Structure 1
Amino acid sequence: MKTIYIIIFLFIVSTALNAQRNYSQGYIITNDNDSIHGLIDFRTDKMNHEFCRFKKAEKAEEELFYPGDIKRYKFVNEGKYYISHEIEINGIFRNVFLEYLLQGMMNLYYYIDPATDQDYYFFQNTDGRMIAITKKPDRIEDLKIKSDQKYKGVISYLFGAYPGVIKDVNKISFDRKYMIEITKEYHDQVCTSGESCIIFENDYRKQFIKFEFSAYAGMQYSSYSFQEEKNLSESMKSLYPVIGGQINVSNPRWSRWFSLQVDLSLSGLKGKNDYIVGTYRYGKYEFDAMMATGRLGLKYTIPVNNKFRTTIEGGVSCIKLFNTSSTLYTEDRVSGDIVYTQIQEDYILPQSSYLGFNAAVGLNYLTGNEKYFFGRIQYEQCEENNGRGNIKVFQIKIGYTF
């Protein structure tokens, strides 16, 4: 049954991912040099190199542009700028959207080859000639790590005649920050008009990772069962308050509505069970414990309207019990009279660690600036590694994301 749930969940995830959109303010420049402002789907670098998904307004029809269909497009808030251009890689010419990093006496562009996932930087001088550099992945040869250093020779060839551009050949780095810095330094030395170059992505360290922090409180209904203890096999139920917090990490360029979720909550667990053996023995078992639960999983948010969002959550759970205590009270009877009583402290304590899964549905109410109140209904089931104990949890909680 668990396998079926996993298959269904993965199917929902893959289907939803294919339908993701992450529209942001931007504009396109047509082949007739007309600028049209609207919304552009802000996705990964690799996807942005292949096409531009555009619409003039929130409810307008989507338009899909490939390299050559338009000249350029730009994201206003993110600073990402793409230009349609023909490039050559391994002797093959192709039309792509290059990311425009710097405009000056030497233009700088960036591209990811979708076939190999290799990064390329293209340097274009004032006569339009383009020179590409790339770096192949490191490889192990004779038990040593071999790194591709050919790009350093090309960089030295391009900028070596200009003092101060390359301060140390050994420190030439194949990354966006370094490429922008040396191209800017070259422009500052060569440009005689005193005009500054234009860096389109001002914060090249920005990773576009989004963090959300939440706190919640509610009630937790739990049941605990000893799977292999004859007299204590029945579920022992308890109701406790629960408090907790969540961190959600997402990359809107990959998916606006999916996020990785880390959850930690604190509650309690207790149980009581009476049993009778024949006509001569009566027993009563009680235990009490604090319960900390860590969860790792995915959250999928489904927009309903401008104020409400529904959510689906699921993942793995780890429960830790601590401050555990138990008592077993027994009576032996003969002809209905109590002839012997015994109290055993810490008798058959529940184990401390449990692993399992959780699933939840919820509703968000947006208050503005990506903050919202939320409610969740969650089910959780965890077992000991040896299968002796089983914990089932049902939570109702409300919280706030800030």
Structure 2
Amino acid sequence: MKKINILFFILLFLTELPINAINEEWKSGCIITNKGDTIHGFLAYRNGMGDWKECLFKNNLSDKEIIYNPHQIQGYLYNIGLYYKSIDLKAEGEENRYFAECLVEGAISLYRLKMSGERSFESYYAINTSSGKIVSFPTQNQSYIQKERIRNSIRAILNYNEQLKKDIKETDCSRSSIIALFKKYHTLTCSQFSCISYQEPKHKCNTYISPFVGIQFNKNYCIIQTSGINYSLNNNSPLIGGNFQMSLDKISNKLLFEFGINANQIKINGYQSPILKVNFSAIQIANNIGVEYVYNINNKTHLLFQGGYNQYLMCPTKNEVTLSKGRIEVKTYHPGYYIGTGLVFSIDENHSIPVRINYSRLIYFQKDLSVLNDNVSLSVGYTFNL
């Protein structure tokens, strides 16, 4: 029990670490100056949390960040293809210069402006390069009526092209479908050459695999239902396993879906009492399904939180549990839940070393015996991008 208390103290300490950053994700990219020069370095990705009004840039990750507003640079571009351009737009009745996300740039360009935080706003803007005409259509709260308005706006900006009539009618007004409409328009109207100078590439979710090793501390509370007597049985053993993770956002790696499996050995024998005798050993295989959230403390160190559902399968090599009434068979399948925290130390953009502390609990009942099982594990792994 002392070991479990020590681990919980460490977990609490991790969650109280001083965090003075604003949780930026630094990704390689470049800024484009007002003179048209390109300066390569690293950009903070914030998904609408201020990136519409300022660009955070570093020449190197160890440097202090430089802040640019939309009047100081033409735009900024991530190496993964995400492009923000400085343009004059009207948002919520106010005209100003913003960093808008460029989706298609050509004869008729398509931009998206997203503002989160104190101001919440999101809208598409289609701009005719030759006439300068701007048509905007919001993306939030897309009811049937709102979608019809979006379709009518697209028809107008695309010059009521007859070849797109069916496509516009059938569009679901999603981001990808609107981009596809603008791309098709340019393909139809520019037969001799391409009049698209930029189109946002399709992004795939990042996937990671993370093998790990560690140690697991097991605490079992056995309650004999006929007498109400409580016994505790302890076991510590090496742990080995692996996690598969996939980012839930195609750009950000802050929130990840995870699926993991691990194994350790349970061995409790020689315990005797007037009522209970245990000689039990098994290979315990655990499967966990949940989510992991990563908070960036600095460029190289990140704090993680995780939680979800898990299930345990015990493969007994000895299953001799005897009560005063006789021998019983311990159930081999048990569901439960888990939570955890830890630190991730980045090596580069695709490799890192996670150190995790996990707590899981499962409760199972069977005739004459109830068991409450607490597991605390400490593990170190190596994560790489698939």
User: For the superposition of Structure 1 and Structure 2, which TM-score range results when normalised by the shorter chain?
Assistant: 0.7 to 0.9
CA–CA separation in structure 1 for the residues paired with 2:171 and 2:253: 36
Given candidates 224, 231, 235, the residue that maps to 2:232 is: 235
Task: Please say if 1:370 is aligned against 2:368.
Answer: no
Q: Secondary structure at the match of 1:59?
A: coil
- Superposed CA deviations along residues 221-253 of structure 1, whole A, max 9, x for unmatched, are 423221456697332233445332212334688
Are 1:346 and 2:349 an aligned pair? no
CA distance in structure 1 between the partners assigned to 2:188 and 2:167 by the alignment: 18
Aligned to 2:100: 98
Deviation at 1:314, TM superposition (A): 4.7
Structure 2 length normalisation: TM-score? 0.75
Unmatched tracts of structure 1, length 5 or more: 140-144, 278-282, 331-341
- 8 Å CA contact 1:187–1:197 kept in 2: the answer is yes
Aligned to 1:201: 199
**2:105 touches 2:199 (CA, 8 Å); kept in 1?**
no
**CA distance 1:200–1:383, change in 2 (3 Å):** same
Matched, 1:71 2:74: yes
Q: Are 1:42 and 1:48, in contact at CA under 8 Å, matched by a contact in 2?
A: yes
Pairing partner for 1:315 from 307, 322, 330? 307
Q: 1:106 to 1:289 in 2, by over 3 A?
A: same
2:309 counterpart of 1:328: no
Q: Given the superposition, is the C-alpha separation of residues 267 and 80 from structure 1 closer, same or farther in structure 2, using an over 3 Å criterion? A: same
Q: What amino acid does structure 2 have at the position aligned with 1:21?
A: E
CA contact (8 A) 1:17 1:255 kept: no
Deviation at 1:345? 2.7
Change (3 A) 1:20 1:262: farther
- 1:190-213 CA deviation, whole Å, 9 max, x = no partner? 559x4422352342x315x32211
CA 1:242 to 1:232, structure 2 compared with 1: closer, same or farther past 3 Å?
farther
Q: Measure, in 2, the Cα distance between the counterparts of 1:183 and 1:255.
A: 26
Separation in structure 2 between the aligned mates of residue 73 and residue 390 of structure 1, nearest angstrom: 55
Q: Which residue of 1 aligns with 2:208?
A: 212
- What is the CA-CA distance between 1:51 and the residue it aligns to? 1.9
Is the counterpart of residue 245 in structure 1 residue 253 in structure 2?
no
Contact 1:351–1:384 (Cα < 8 Å) also in 2: no
Instruction: Tell me, yes or no, if the aligned pair for 1:44 and 1:253 is still in contact at 8 Å.
Output: no
Kept after mapping to 2: 8 A contact 1:20/1:257: no
String of CA shifts for 1:328-386, please: whole Å, max 9, x gaps: 277xxxxxxxxxxx9x3326x368535354446467685x77345x5756453524278
Secondary structure of the 1:68 match is: coil
2:136 to 117, 132, 137: 132
- 5+ residue gaps, structure 2, are none
Q: Which residue of 2 aligns with 1:148?
A: 147
Alignment of 1:261-280 (within 5 A): 261-272=258-269, 273-276=271-274
**Counterpart in the other structure of 1:355:** 336
The reply to whether residue 287 of structure 1 matches residue 280 of structure 2 is: yes
How far apart are 1:326 and its partner, in Å? 3.0
Instruction: Determine the C-alpha separation between the residues in 2 that align with 1:67 and 1:39.
Output: 17
CA contact (8 A) 2:21 2:298 kept: no
Tell me, in whole angstroms, the C-alpha distance in 1 between the residues paired with 2:150 and 2:220.
62
Deviations 1:112-137 (A, max 9, x none): 25444433232323022212223552
| Aligned-residue CA RMSD (Å) | 4.3
Q: In 2 relative to 1, CA 161–268 (structure 1 residues): closer, same or farther, beyond 3 Å? A: same
SS of residue paired to 1:109: strand
Q: Write out per-residue CA displacement over residues 71-110 of structure 1, whole angstroms, 9 at most, x where no aligned residue.
A: 32222x2222222222124533232112223332222222
Distance 1:350 1:271, change over 3 A: farther
Find the aligned partners of 1:369 and 1:89 in 2 and give their Cα distance. Answer: 35
For 1:13 and 1:216, locate their aligned partners in 2 and report how far apart those are by CA, in whole Å: 24
What is the identity, as a one-letter code, of the residue corresponding to 1:158? I
1:58 aligns with 2:37: no
SS at match of 1:235: strand
**Equivalents in 2 of 1:371, 1:354: separation in Å?**
32
Aligned length: 368
Does the C-alpha gap of structure 1 residues 162 and 66 become closer, same or farther in structure 2, counting only changes over 3 Å? same
Q: Could you tell me which amino acid in structure 1 is paired with residue 103 of structure 2?
A: L
Given that residues 260 and 298 in structure 1 are in contact (C-alpha distance below 8 angstroms), is that contact kept between their aligned partners in structure 2?
Answer: yes
